[in-house]
Structure 1
Amino acid sequence: MRVMAPILAILLLLGCSQQNDRSSAPGPEQIVRLSDSELKGLDPQKISDLSSLRIASDQFEGLTRLNARGKAEPGLAKAWETSPDGLRWTFELHGGLKFSDGTPFDAALFPEIFLRMRAPGTASPTANLFTNISGIKAISDNRLIVSLASPAPHLPALLAHPALAAIPLHRINNAGDTWTNDRPMITSGAYRLVDWRLNDHARMERNPNWHEDPAPTDTIIWKPMDDSLSAMRLVLAGGADVSADYPDSRHRWLKENHPGLAHSVPYLGSYYFAFNIRKPPFDDSRVRIALSMAVEREWIADKVIGIGNMPAWGLLPPGLAGDIDYKPDWVDWPREKRLQAAGELLADAGYGTKHPLKFEIRFNSSAEHRRVSVALAAMWQPLGVQTSLFNSEAALHFSALRDHDFTLARSGWIGDFPAAENFLSVHQTANGTGNYSGYDNADFDALLAQAIASADPFERQTLMRRAEAMMMADMPVLPLYYYVTRSLVGKRIAGWEDNISNVHPSYTLRIKTQ
């Protein structure tokens, strides 16, 4: 018996483990999605990481929501209208709205949600996204007004953020921060959390009181998987349906061996290096432009990265401010002509064989960033440019950028929402330490402010493009390519639509019928 007892215990543990594995595996009514990290929190006003926001979006709905194409559409509000000056938006809510526990709510909830999000005690990490909203006021049970400081055509997309979604204040006021411990959690969206096992999985089931028809899939399982290679292997083995990432080194192999599984899609993000223009050598725009002219962006995007990235000469991702992407006049010159022109600019700035241009290329630890840095150094060698490489982990790297302790450094921007000003305002003088390059152009600041103040979509778009062109003529940053997102989507999944925002709500996904 003393021998059999430990063996029996081990068998029982194995049995439990296998049962748990089956409970979080794909099934006929269950989709398993892999995120690249564990949940950081469940309160939608107190999170900012992508994994937590994705799960929050599945559970909490606002006046608007994002659909399978990443576009804003009516959510808890069924319609809205805008004043001629673009500063007042009136929303009309659906009738009979209820939280998942059956508690009704109406328009009066949203001013309270807005105040909680802004309250110092909430310490919302995304509160700065909503500084343009000057107030929210309920004018009846099913109508409310959102007032803005300046026009914002992207407001419907912004209001889809979970931080302004309907949350159960009736429960929060009684339970404080412990309300997120409820199982099932009280939610307003298509799903509600019924089980969360740290570093294992989060299980969500349909919200029985969602204002629309029930979501097409009964259960959604989110599993954290920070290793993209392990995530890929789990999907290939049938242990998961969707992965939020896969190794870039396996992109071509997946395309050749598993066609249709890998999705590489342009993303709402720009990859660039920032010049420190506060001091030599990059306080001289001729030096910055010369280096830009010598860079083979198509080669970097295709050969160095090789996962479908588009080369970039500007900051704004394709389609963000019209159909025409920014390109300088010299973009189509042969390489020899560009190198000659670049050499002349460097000579005018005082650099040559007797006084070579020397500087350090700084990047945060990543194989991708290292490959790009090495490629840049090689492309500048024909100009007699001498570079050294310095890498550090991400926290130290970006601390150095904020402290302006760099010469040329890897940077980039992922948009918080699909609006041109979100990319351009980063480089305004008023952005302080977040303006890594130190770009200081009063004309650019004024032009961007004029664009933001315009309620006319065409004028706004035109001014945004002019502001981008003005900035790129000064070249405080060196754009290289636009980001892409990498996802794996199993063949049994329907409803997935590739989009620039990389938004794929679980309520839009379903399991294909055989």
Structure 2
Amino acid sequence: MRLIFLFSLLLVLTGCGGAADETVLPGPDQIVRLSDSEIKGLDPQGVSDLSSLRVLADQYEGLTRLDARGEAEPGLAKKWTVSADGLRWIFELRPDLEFSDATPINAHLFPDVLARLRAEETAAPTRTLFDNISTIVALDAQMVEIRLKSPSPALPVLLAHPALSAIPLHRIREAGNRWTADRPVVTSGPYRLTHWLLNNHARLERNPNWHDDTKITGNIIWKPMDDSLAGMRLILAGGADIASDYPVSRHQWLEDNHPGLAHSTPYLGSYYFVFNTRKPPFDDARVRTALSMAIERQWIADKVMAIGNSPSWSVLPPGLNGGSAYRPVWATWPRERRLREAEGILREAGYDADNPLTFEIRFNSSAEHRRVSVALAAMWQPLPVRTTLFNSEAALHFSALRQHDFALARSGWIADIPVPENFLMVHQPANGPGNYSGYSNPAYDRLVNDARQSADAGKRAALFAQANQLLTRDMPILPLYFYVTRSLVASRIDGWDDNISNVHPSRTLRIRTP
């Protein structure tokens, strides 16, 4: 079997008869990481996809950064203070900071970074994440003041996002959009990109002018691998150290045959289907609730996924809802009672055997999404419900959602930052086309907005919990389960810490010595 794996590795790493490229294999000072997809760009303010942001987080550091547990810690700032009303934050920079090209980094950089983020010509896809920031001011060369529109206890986490990191504006002024073509790219974090071969790999080397640990692993290779099965095989063959995904169907096999390799842990993500509430039949909350009552969520989590997902009846993961997920009262009823109740609700709404509820279940191409969609259709069969399935590739699928061209469609949300509002604000009219369901409830909006305005942690949590319950009652979405991460980590890697944010900076990873 080992020879088969090695032969597969050779096929992956050779092309047109050439020899395997030893420079992209794991080595004594080199970690090879597999990402879900190719890097979309090298400008921290120009991308929003997770694969690109992971690579950029290795290269750029902000006032704060995320540690191996996904928690905010001092970055370029060594400490900070916050006013009693939560609206004024002051960060003190570390002394003698430099970019990788030895250009000094001081407090005057950060107001300009925010200005570039908000400039129309930047077209930053993550711009709205920072809407709560009113201004950034340099009090002097070492002190940065950030003023907020409303309190945000999670600001240190937000400031770790690459879009608001120390970006080399001096180089951008010189080269314009060509600055990312530099090799090495000028960076502020632990690594700098020295080579990028599209659809093959990106090489990061240690930044000689980084302010922190000089003993970090010298080289990081990021390889795009959208086929999780091929990625798993590459890991097993010794051709890579870390994969950010693996097939759900192989989880138990990995547990049995390669204990310790697979890592699966709760994740700040909610998997759901979304109703189009703008038109019949799902403009009627009774219909949405009846369908939700008929779903066997525990069965989907245990049998369809079989990887440790927790069933969900609401959008907020337990870690953001006081440690427990909210459930409506009917969630504890036996299936027979739920089906009887659902059938009665549908009858009141005008649907019965002679006039069944008929609609299409739309999902983006994936074995996982297909299995879930088939399971939903089967669970609704005892009711006067008739469904058809329609799948399309992801770009077309989400374009249809933004254009409201669906009845019920697969969706979900993975948090940009670990705070309740990041989940709840998605379902407000202010989110525009991103509010796929078209949900609009002024009472819900007030709860979310009042929570965001409060500097009292207890009051914020209570208001967000009420908003979550109201969203669950109105049921514009059909929550099914909370995500778990799926990662493969070779035994030679140390410093990997499973966490709910699925953050694993390369600077925190080490190669175990024999």
TM-score, normalization by structure 2: 0.94
The answer for the alignment partner of 1:453 in structure 2 is 453
The answer for the alignment partner of 2:70 in structure 1 is 70
The answer for the alignment partner of 1:131 in structure 2 is 131
The within-5 A match list for 1:380-399 is 380-399=380-399
Percent identity over paired residues = 66
Matched-pair contact (CA < 8 Å) for 1:273–1:478? yes
Matched pairs, number: 501
More off after superposition, 275-284 vs 499-508 = 275-284
Per-residue CA deviation, residues 3-25 of structure 1 (Å, 9 max, x unaligned), is xxxxxxxxxx999943x611111
Per-residue CA deviation, residues 306-342 of structure 1 (Å, 9 max, x unaligned), is 2221111100112013212111111121111211222
The answer for the alignment partner of 2:418 in structure 1 is 418
The answer for the alignment partner of 2:171 in structure 1 is 171
Per-residue CA deviation, residues 174-205 of structure 1 (Å, 9 max, x unaligned), is 12222222222221111112222222221112
The answer for the alignment partner of 2:118 in structure 1 is 118
Aligned-partner Cα distance in 2 for 1:174–1:396: 39
Aligned-partner Cα distance in 2 for 1:402–1:227: 27
The within-5 A match list for 1:181-220 is 181-220=181-220
Tell me the CA shift for residue 380 of structure 1: 1.0
Aligned-partner Cα distance in 1 for 2:177–2:351: 61
Root-mean-square deviation (CA), in Å? 1.7
Classify the secondary structure of the residue corresponding to 2:58: helix
Matched-pair contact (CA < 8 Å) for 1:206–1:215? no
Is the counterpart of residue 291 in structure 1 residue 304 in structure 2?
Answer: no
Per-residue CA deviation, residues 32-88 of structure 1 (Å, 9 max, x unaligned), is 111122222111111222221111110110000011111111100111111111111
Is the counterpart of residue 332 in structure 1 residue 329 in structure 2?
Answer: no
Aligned-partner Cα distance in 1 for 2:43–2:354: 61
From the superposition, tell whether residues 99 and 287 of structure 1 become closer, same or farther in structure 2 (CA, over 3 Å): same
Aligned-partner Cα distance in 2 for 1:28–1:110: 37
More off after superposition, 432-441 vs 442-451 = 432-441
From the superposition, tell whether residues 169 and 375 of structure 1 become closer, same or farther in structure 2 (CA, over 3 Å): same
The within-5 A match list for 1:228-243 is 228-243=228-243
The within-5 A match list for 1:87-166 is 87-166=87-166
Aligned-partner Cα distance in 1 for 2:508–2:310: 28
Is the counterpart of residue 479 in structure 1 residue 476 in structure 2?
Answer: no
Aligned-partner Cα distance in 2 for 1:213–1:273: 44
From the superposition, tell whether residues 16 and 219 of structure 1 become closer, same or farther in structure 2 (CA, over 3 Å): farther
Aligned-partner Cα distance in 1 for 2:505–2:458: 30
Aligned-partner Cα distance in 2 for 1:155–1:257: 43
The answer for the alignment partner of 1:375 in structure 2 is 375
User: What letter matches 2:196 in structure 1?
Assistant: W
In structure 2, runs of 5+ residues without a counterpart are 1-13
Aligned-partner Cα distance in 2 for 1:26–1:393: 33
TM-score, normalization by structure 1: 0.94
Aligned-partner Cα distance in 2 for 1:84–1:59: 34
Aligned-partner Cα distance in 2 for 1:341–1:502: 39
Aligned-partner Cα distance in 2 for 1:132–1:236: 45
Classify the secondary structure of the residue corresponding to 1:222: strand
From the superposition, tell whether residues 205 and 230 of structure 1 become closer, same or farther in structure 2 (CA, over 3 Å): same
Aligned-partner Cα distance in 2 for 1:327–1:338: 14
More off after superposition, 158-167 vs 190-199 = 190-199
Rg comparison, structure with higher value: 1
Is the counterpart of residue 281 in structure 1 residue 281 in structure 2?
Answer: yes
The answer for the alignment partner of 2:257 in structure 1 is 257
Aligned-partner Cα distance in 1 for 2:77–2:17: 45
The answer for the alignment partner of 2:5 in structure 1 is none
Aligned-partner Cα distance in 2 for 1:197–1:396: 28
In structure 1, runs of 5+ residues without a counterpart are 1-12
Classify the secondary structure of the residue corresponding to 2:370: helix
Classify the secondary structure of the residue corresponding to 1:409: strand
Tell me the CA shift for residue 409 of structure 1: 1.5
The answer for the alignment partner of 1:9 in structure 2 is none
Aligned-partner Cα distance in 1 for 2:297–2:374: 13
Matched-pair contact (CA < 8 Å) for 1:215–1:507? no
The within-5 A match list for 1:17-96 is 17-18=18-19, 21-96=21-96
Aligned-partner Cα distance in 1 for 2:435–2:15: 54
More off after superposition, 317-326 vs 253-262 = 317-326
User: What letter matches 1:348 in structure 2?
Assistant: E
From the superposition, tell whether residues 16 and 222 of structure 1 become closer, same or farther in structure 2 (CA, over 3 Å): farther
The answer for the alignment partner of 1:365 in structure 2 is 365
From the superposition, tell whether residues 493 and 358 of structure 1 become closer, same or farther in structure 2 (CA, over 3 Å): same
Aligned-partner Cα distance in 2 for 1:274–1:201: 36
The answer for the alignment partner of 1:432 in structure 2 is 432
